[in-house]
Homo-oligomer: A and B are copies of this chain.
């Protein structure tokens, strides 16, 4: 059997994945190698396309897309995948739950070169139903997604003890994780343990066979800022760190999803640091949203939360679109959300890694009043150009440009 990336590292093998990430992120292969060995960096792999996530690396952004049971438009999902790649997403999660899910996933997969993540239980529950599906059905989906070439799979790790905690209903918004709620309901209906935990060794074998990054979901994230960190979150943190260590020991690359959801701004950094103190696995954060009132503009509120999270040490951000809490995002909403989170990731990196060279380049262009240059290096040059108002020079200050005035003075 081919060794996994981690197993290779333990044998001292420097793979092309390691060399590629080292080169693109500006580190030595030894550094990347060491971090993979300790679990603080993972590499999502797909046909020679590598995305490194973790310690010291640039903060990465994931774009969620896919159909829902009430809205299926494959053309839109293809466009979303393409726009995600065009505007700098690092990974895509296909969360499809409606239509011909196999076909949709395969089409999305072939529409992009980015690594794809799925949440296998979504397909199982969509096709078989919550009451009918069995643990075997779930494992079968996990296996088929792995075989098909997904780079990463998400499982939700709610335990029986956590389920009892959820049932106590102390929060305003109990559980807002879809995968977490489906897994919880499955456990309740069948009066059984979580199949992902019960069959964790099988899952690990599947991940080993295909060198897949295992992502441990964030069932316990809060759904509003008034729902503060609680017992459920503490239980999940501990459990996910335990499972991550087990996965890593088995040579499976692993990411922990945590510190996501709705969190008041001042509580985000402490939450991230607490996680990072417990374990140094790459931390994947959904949002977070520092307010609940941003309906229609949650990508903007999310940028504020995600900037803070990334600055405090989050390695990987799951974007939020303007359509969050309202409906399945349109292609435009996907683009808007992604750009807001690219800005957030960069703001985080200026703090976390002191990376300010791109900012310096833009500032240098401004110092010589090169507006065209600014437009050219904008995340979305077309938009920057349209905001320039068709005028050759900046119309903001016209003749009274501070930069011009001061340069004449100097």
A239 touches B (CB below 8 Å): no
Which of B295, B347, B396 touches A291 (beta carbons < 8 Å)? B347
Complex interface: chain B residues within 8 A of A42 (CB): none
Whether B226 and A266, one on each chain, are in contact in the complex, defined by CB atoms closer than 8 angstroms, is no
* Residues A383 and B296 in contact, CB atoms below 8 Å apart: yes
A386 to chain B, nearest CB (A): 8
Which residues of A from 285 to 323 have beta carbons under 8 Å from B?
Answer: 290-297, 299-301, 303-304, 307-308, 311, 322-323
Chain A interface, number of residues (Cβ within 8 angstroms): 108
Q: What sequence of 0s and 1s flags, for each residue 251-273 of chain A, a beta carbon within 8 Å of any chain B beta carbon?
A: 00000000000101110000000
Complex: A243 Cα to B324 Cα, angstroms:
47
Query: How far in angstroms is the closest Cβ of chain B from A173?
Result: 5
Establish whether residues B71 and A406, one from each chain, have CB atoms under 8 Å apart when the complex forms: no
Pairwise interchain contact B402-A181, C-beta atoms closer than 8 A:
yes
A372 to chain B, nearest CB (A): 11
- Interface stretch (choices A16-24, A25-33, A164-172, A274-282): A164-172
Binds B, one of A54-62, A138-146, A182-190: A182-190
Is A160 in contact with chain B by the CB < 8 A criterion? Answer: no
Residues of B within 8 A of A169 (CB): 410
> What is the bound-complex CA distance between A391 and B362, given in angstroms?
42
Residues of B within 8 A of A299 (CB): 300
Closest CB-CB distance, A208 to chain B, in whole Å?
A: 30
Within 8 Å by CB of A295, from B177, B330, B356, B374, lies B374
| CB closest chain-B residue, reference A324 | B396
On chain B, the residues within 8 Å of A122 by CB distance are 400
Docked pose: A407 CA to B171 CA in angstroms: 12
- For A353-394 the 0/1 string (1 means CB < 8 A from B) is 000101110111011000100110111100110011101011
Q: Is the CB of A297 within 8 A of B395?
A: no
- CB pair B375–A295 under 8 Å, yes or no, is yes
Among residues of B, the one whose C-beta sits closest to the C-beta of A321 is B387
Known A225-B350, A290-B350, A350-B225; contact A71-B340, beta-carbon cutoff 8 A: no
Bound Cα distance from A142 to B75, whole angstroms? 60
- Does B366 contact A181, Cβ atoms closer than 8 Å? no
Cβ of A207 under 8 Å from chain B? no
Q: Is the CB of A387 within 8 A of B340?
A: no
Q: Which residues of B contact A407 (CB under 8 A)?
A: 174
Contact between A384 and B296 (Cβ–Cβ < 8 Å)? yes
What residues of chain B lie closer than 8 Å to A330, measured between beta carbons? Answer: 387, 389
Supposing A292-B359, A304-B343, A406-B166 touch, asked if A71 and B366 sit within 8 A by C-beta, the answer is: no
Which A residues between 93 and 108 are near B, CB-CB below 8 angstroms? 97-98
A346 touches B405 (CB 8 A): no
Q: Which residues of A contact B (CB under 8 A)?
A: 68-71, 97-98, 122, 125-126, 130, 166-167, 169, 172-178, 180-182, 184-185, 188, 223-227, 262, 264-266, 290-297, 299-301, 303-304, 307-308, 311, 322-328, 330, 333, 339-340, 343-344, 346-348, 350-351, 356, 358-360, 362-364, 366-367, 371, 374-375, 377-380, 383-384, 387-389, 391, 393-403, 405-410
For the complex of A and B, list the 8 residue pairs with the smallest distance between their C-beta atoms, beginning with the closest: A69-B398, A224-B363, A70-B398, A181-B402, A296-B384, A295-B378, A292-B359, A327-B389
Subset of 7 A-B contacts with CB under 8 Å: A71-B398, A166-B410, A167-B409, A224-B363, A225-B356, A266-B351, A304-B347
